[in-house]
Structure 1
Amino acid sequence: MKRLLPNLLASGDDDGVIKLWDPRKPDAVRQYTHHFDFISDFMWLDDKKQLVATSGDGSLSVMDVRSKKVEPFAQSEDQEDELLSIIPIKGGQKVVVGTQLGILSIFNRKSGWGDCVDRIPGHPQSIDALCAIPSHYPNAHSTILTGSSDGLLRAVQLLPTKLLGVVADHGEFPIERIAVDMGGEGRWVGSAGHEEMLKLTDLKEVFEDDDKEGSDGEAQSDEEGAGAVGEGPGSDEEEEEDKAAGVEAEVSAEPEGEDDEGEEAQEASGGEEEPVEQPRQRKRKKEQDPLNMAKRKKGKNTVEAEPTFFADL
C-alpha cells in the first residue's frame, strides 16, 4: 500500500491488480489490470501526480491519478527480471529499481520509461527493499539504503557507485521493509525481515564513523609523515654522537703520549692518501699507452722494425 494524497491510497495485490482508494468511500475509486503478476512496490511523483508501480512480471508502469482512464500513462519494456523495489534519486530526476538478480536498474525520467539507462550489479541476492536517507547526510541525493534477501542492510552510493558499508545484519532472514524517521533528525532506520524482530539502527553513528575514519586516517598519515621527517635529523645527530663517543673511547684507551702523535699521523696519512692514489692511477694509464699505440697502428700495411729482429727468427 502507498499513501498518495490526504484522501487517496493505492493498493497492489498478488494478481497484479492496482486499486485507488478514497477512505471516505467503501469501494475502490479506480482499478488497473495491465500487470499480470504481483505488485511489489510503489513510488509517488508529487510533481506530476503520477503513481509508479513495479511488478513481478518484469515491467514498471506509470499511472496518472488525475486521469479517468484505466490504462497506464506509460509502461516499460520487459526487463527480463522481477522488479521488486523502487526509489527516486538525484532530486527525482532518476529512479532506481531493485531486481531479483541483485541488479540496480536506473531509469532516467527525461529519457522516458521505456527502458533503463544503466544497470549496476553487486548484490549477491535479490534487492527486496530500497530507502532514501535524509538530506543532511553526505551525498544524500545519490546514497540509498538497500535491503537484500541475504539479510544485510547496506548503504550504497550511486553515480559513482560505491559501497559505503553494512548498516544492519538480519542473519539468514531476508529484509522486507526499510524506513527512516524523516520527520525527525533522520537518525534511526528501522528494518524488518522474516524474523520476529524490528531492528533500529543509528544512522548517525554509521556515517559519522566513516567520516571519522577518513579524518583519522589522514591525521595518522600526517603524523607518520612528520615522524619520518623528524627522524632524519635525529638519527644523524645520534650517529654523530655515537661516533664522537667511540672516538673518545679509543682515545681514552690509548696512552696519553701516543694520542697526539697517533692522531697527527692519522691526519697526515689521511691527508696524503688521496693525492698518492691519483698518481698511481695515472701511472697505470701510462702503462697502457703501448696498447693504445698498437690499436692506433691497426689498419696500416707497414710496420717499422729493426732488421736484427728478423735475424733472430
Structure 2
Amino acid sequence: MKKAYVGVLMFALCLWAISAMALPKGSMALLGFGAIKEVAFSSDSKILAIASEYGVYLYDAVTFTQIRYFFVEDGNSISFSPDNKLLASGSDDNTIKIWDISSGNTVKTLVGHTDWVNSVRFSPNGKLLASGSDDNTVKLWDVSSGDLVKTLVGHKWHIISIAFSSDSKLLASGSSDNTIKLWDVSSGEEVKTFKGHTSDVTSVSFIPGGKLLASGSDDETIKLWDVSSGDVVKTLVGYANWVKSISISPDGKLIASGSYDNTIKLWDISSGKEVKTFVGHTDWVNSVCFSPDGKLIVSGSSDGTVKFWDISSGKEVKTLEHTSSIYSICFSPDGKLLASGGEDKTVRIWDVSSGKEVKTLVGHTSGVYSVSFSPDIDGKLLASGSSDGTIKLWDVLSGKEVKTLIGHASWVISVCFSPNGKLLASGSYDMTIKLWDVLSGKEIKTF
C-alpha cells in the first residue's frame, strides 16, 4: 500500500504546484470542470467559485481568468465566508476543507461525517459553518477552532441542502426524506418539519426578511413556505424534470431555478409566475446563483460549462468551457508555454501571452493524466502519462514523439523530471513508481 500512497502523493504534489499559482494576465482560462455541482459569487462580486467533480476553481468575475484551483475529491458544495477571506468546500471524501483565498492554503480540514458532504454554508455572522451529509446529519462547526459544536439528528435520509437565516439563528435543511427541517442554531433543537414535497428536497433558501423559505425538489416543483406557521404559501409549477437548485435575488423579488430539463427558469415571488426561461445548456443544470448586484444569473451544468445570463434581456452573456476535461497542466520553465493533458487523449501546448494553442500532440490512445516539461530553460522535452499505460516523450519545438516508455500495467497518473533532466519518474495505478533514463528510454528501477 505504501507504493500506492507515494504515487498519489506525487499526483497531489503536481496539483499543489498548479494551485499555488495564478495564470498570468491575458492567458487563456483552461477549464477541465467535468460536471459542475455548484457555483457561487463572493459577496463583493469579485470572485466566482465553481465546485466540480475535478475540484474547486476560483475565477476573477470581471476578467474570467482563473485565480486558484483547489484539489478536492469530487467537490459538491462551496461557500464564501461573509468577509470573503475563506472558502469552504464539501466533497465525496466525507470531509470539509476551509481554504484561505489569498494564499491558496488549506486552513482546516473538518472530519466527522461518515458519508459524502453535499452542502456547506457559513453563517452570516461568520462564526459557524454548517454541513449536510449523506450520513443523514447536519453538523455545526466553529470556524475559528475547527471544532464540532453540534450534530443535528432528525432526518431519515440524506441531507442535500442547507441554509442559514439572515440573523444566523435558524438553519433549514432539505433531505431525501422529502422534508425540510428548521433548527434552532443555539440549542440544536428541531423547531419545525415542513412536509409537502413528494420527492427529494434538493435546494433550500431563505427569502430576504426571513418570513419565507423557498425549496426546490425532484417532484418538479418549487415551494414557498411560511417560516412561522410551516404552511405552503405557493407552489411554482412549470418543470418537466427535477428541480436541482434555487437562488433568491438580492432584493428578494425573484427566484432562479435550475433543472434536469437543462433549463433555468426565473420566477416572480409575489405572483408565483414564471418570468423567463433561459435555454442553452445541453445537460442537467445543477446549480444557479444570482450575482450580488442582481443583474446576472450564473448556472453550472453537467455539460461542463458555466454560463452567465443577463436577467433583463434573457441572453447568454458568457460561457466558460473546454471541449473536454483537463486532467493536468504544467508551465514550461520560462513560463512562456503551458501544456495541458486531457480526456481527448491529446497533449496541447499553449502560448501563455496570447492564449493561443501552439501545438496538439497526438499519440496516446486514452486520456492524458500528467504532463511535465524538462527542466532546461527552454523545456525542450515534454513527458506525458496516460491511462493507456504508457509515457511519451515529445520534442516541444517540432511536436514530434521522441520515445514511448512501456512498463506500467495500469494508468500512469504522474510524471516528473529529475532536476538535471536525466531521469523521469512515473507513478501508476499499478501501485508502482518507475524510474526511467530519459536519453535511452530504458527503465532503471521500480519502487
Matched-pair contact (CA < 8 Å) for 1:15–1:36: no
Distance 2:208 2:84 in 1: 23
Distance in 2 (CA, whole Å) between partners of 1:160 and 1:13 is 34
Question: What CA distance in whole angstroms lies between the structure 2 residues aligned with 1:116 and 1:204?
Answer: 29
What is residue 162 of structure 2 aligned with on the other side?
A: 86
Change (3 A) 1:11 1:162: same
CA distance in 2, matches of 1:206, 1:73: 38
Say if 2:177 is the partner of 1:101.
yes
2: CA distance between counterparts of 1:192 and 1:42? 19
Structure 1 counterpart SS, 2:140: strand
User: TM-score under structure 1 normalisation?
Assistant: 0.57
More strand by share: 2
- Partner Cα distance (2:271, 2:140) in 1: 37
C-alpha separation in 1, matches of 2:232 and 2:155: 24
Q: Residue 134 and residue 46 in structure 1: after superposition, are their counterparts in 2 closer, same or farther (change >3 A)? A: closer
Q: How many residues are treated as equivalent by the alignment?
A: 195
Question: For residues 167 and 103 of structure 1, what CA distance do their matches in structure 2 show?
Answer: 17
Residues 197 and 38 of structure 1: CA distance in aligned 2, closer, same or farther (over 3 Å): same
Q: Residues of 2 paired with 1:121 and 1:65: CA distance?
A: 32
Counterpart AA for 2:271: E
Q: Which residue of 2 aligns with 1:56?
A: 134
For the pair 1:36 / 2:36, whether they are aligned, the reply is: no
Structure 2 distance, partners of 1:158, 1:203, is 15
1:61-72 to 2 correspondences below 5 Å:
61-67=139-145, 69=146, 71-72=147-148
CA distance 1:134–1:120, change in 2 (3 Å): closer
Structure 1 residues 142 and 89: alpha-carbon distance in aligned structure 2, compared to 1, 3 A threshold: farther
> Is 1:131 matched with 2:205?
yes
Moved over 3 A (4+): 77-80, 88-92
Write the mapping of 1:200-279 to structure 2, written as runs, cut at 5 A: 200-206=266-272
Measured after TM superposition, the shift of residue 48 of structure 1 is: 5.6
Q: Distance in 2 between matches of 1:78 and 1:146?
A: 18
Quote the offset at 1:74 in angstroms.
Answer: 2.2
Match of 1:205, as an amino acid?
Answer: S
- What is residue 75 of structure 1 aligned with on the other side? 151
Unaligned runs of 5+ in 2: 1-77, 274-447
- Structure 1 counterpart of 2:105, from 27, 31, 42: 27
Q: What residue identity is the alignment partner of 1:66?
A: S
Aligned to 2:24: none
Partner of 1:180: 248
Per-residue deviation, 1:191: 0.4
SS in 1 for 2:208: coil
Report if the CA contact (8 A) 2:217-2:242 is conserved.
yes
Give 1 or 2 for the bigger CA radius of gyration. Answer: 1
Q: Which amino acid aligns with 1:159?
A: S
When residues 166 and 46 of structure 1 are mapped into structure 2, their CA distance, relative to the original with a 3 A threshold, is closer
Q: Secondary structure at the match of 2:271?
A: helix
Structure 1: how far apart are the matches of 2:197 and 2:254? 23
**TM-aligned CA distance change 1:120 to 1:84, over 3 Å:** same
Q: Decide whether aligned partners of structure 1 residues 89 and 10 sit closer, same or farther in structure 2, where only a CA change above 3 A counts.
A: closer
- Tell me how far 1:47 sits from its aligned partner: 2.9
The secondary structure found in structure 1 opposite 2:236 is: strand
Which sections of structure 1, spanning at least 5 residues, go unmatched? 136-140, 208-313
Change (3 A) 1:206 1:42: same
Q: Which structure would you say has the larger RCO, counting Cα contacts within 8 Å and 6 or more residues apart?
A: 2
Q: CA deviation at 1:90?
A: 8.2
Partner of 2:261: 195
Structure 2 CA distance for partners of 1:179 and 1:20, relative to 1, 3 Å:
same
Equivalent in the alignment of 1:165: 234
Summarize the Cα distance change of 1:117–1:165 in structure 2 as closer, same or farther, 3 Å threshold: closer
Instruction: Name the amino acid aligned to 1:95.
Output: L
What secondary structure is seen at the aligned counterpart in 1 of 2:148? coil
SS in 2 for 1:156: strand
Question: 1:81 Cα shift?
Answer: 1.9
Instruction: Give 1:3 shift.
Output: 0.7
CA drift of 1:169 comes to 2.4
In structure 1, the residue matched to 2:368 is: none
Contact 1:90–1:142 (Cα < 8 Å) also in 2: no
Q: Classify 1:24/1:48 alpha carbon distance in 2 versus 1 (closer, same or farther; 3 Å).
A: closer
1:297-312 aligned at under 5 Å gives the runs none
Contact 1:144 1:157 in 2 (8 A): yes
The CA distance in 2 between the partners of 1:49 and 1:92, in whole Å, is 9
The CA RMSD over aligned residues, in Å, is: 2.2
Secondary structure in 1 matching 2:245: strand
Maintained 8 Å contact 2:222/2:237: yes
